[in-house]
Amino acid sequence: MKTQYISFRVSYTEKKAIILAARAVNLSTSEFARRAALNMKVTLRFSSEELEIYKNLHTYHRNFKAIGNLVKSDYFKKNDTILLELEEVISLIKAHLEKFEQ
C-alpha cells in the first residue's frame, strides 16, 4: 500500500514530456515516474488491435499444441516430418507470446 508522498519540481517542458511518455505506455504520471525512479521496466501497453492479435496468436498456439498431441497419439501413424514442423511452429508462436508477456 502506498502511503508516502514525494514531490519534485520540473520545468514546463519536462512535465509535458513526462505526461506524454506516460500516456504512450498507458500509465499514470505517478506510476510512470515511480517506475523510472526505481529503474523498473516500462513497457508499451497493447492497442486494441494488438490485443486482438495476441489473443488470436494464443488461440493458434493452443490449437497447434492440441494438433501436436493428437499426431503423437496412437490413433495416427507418426509422421516425423509433420511432427517436426508442427513442433517448430509451436515453438515460434510460444516465443512470440513470451515477448508480449515480458
Q: Give the side-chain half-sphere CA count within 13 A for 81.
A: 0
Query: What pLDDT is stored for residue 78 in this prediction?
Result: 60
Query: What pLDDT is stored for residue 29 in this prediction?
Result: 92
Query: What pLDDT is stored for residue 75 in this prediction?
Result: 64
CA-closest candidate to residue 54, choices 19, 23, 93: 93
Q: Could you give the CA distance from residue 57 to residue 51 in angstroms, rounded to a whole number?
A: 10
Query: What pLDDT is stored for residue 67 in this prediction?
Result: 81
Query: What pLDDT is stored for residue 46 in this prediction?
Result: 66
Q: Could you give the CA distance from residue 40 to residue 37 in angstroms, rounded to a whole number?
A: 8
- The structural domains of the chain, with segments of one domain joined by +, span 1-45, 48-101
pLDDT (tens, 9 = 90+) of the chain, 102 residues, equals 889 989 989 988 889 988 988 888 888 999 899 998 998 877 766 667 777 888 888 888 888 888 878 777 766 666 667 777 778 888 888 888 887 665
Q: Phi/psi of residue 8, each to 5°? A: -150, 155
Query: What pLDDT is stored for residue 2 in this prediction?
Result: 85
Query: What pLDDT is stored for residue 30 in this prediction?
Result: 92
Q: Could you give the CA distance from residue 84 to residue 102 in angstroms, rounded to a whole number?
A: 27
